[in-house]
Amino acid sequence: MRNNEEYEEQKIVVKYLELIGAKFTAIPNSTYTTSPAQKAMNTAMGLRSGLPDLFIIIKEKPFFIEMKRKKGGVLSENQKEWIDKINKTGIKAYVCNGFEEAKEIIDLYK
């Protein structure tokens, strides 16, 4: 289960994105299931761990945000690898500790 503080911060980011009319989606990598059949189906359909939490497009500029709690959030090795690979494409991927950091990044694209 995702850290509750991180969850609450991301909900605020989502409300802000809706308020400004951004096009975005959450990446369902944190969806947890104990069902081996569902895990196999998710993997077969291409779900891979580590992709940042949010994909956002503002003024035709795409970017990703990986949300972490305000203090103590740590990136997994898969997250580090995805963020590195994404940034090498020219699309930006940011790690944001809480809503305020995410808002600063989002506002750069407005």
**For 70-108, what is each residue's pLDDT tens digit?**
998 999 999 999 999 999 999 999 999 999 999 999 999
Evaluate if residue 6 carries a pLDDT over 50. Answer: yes
Residues 6+ apart with CB under 8 A from 19: none
**For 42-65, what is each residue's pLDDT tens digit?**
889 888 889 999 999 999 999 999
Q: Which CATH number fits domain 4-109: 3.90.580.10, 3.60.10.10, 3.40.50.300, 3.40.1350.10?
A: 3.40.1350.10
CA angle 37, 52, 1 (to 5 degrees): 50
Residue ranges of domains in the chain? 4-109
pTM over 0.85: yes
Contact assessment for residue 93 and residue 68, using Cβ atoms and an 8 Å cutoff: no
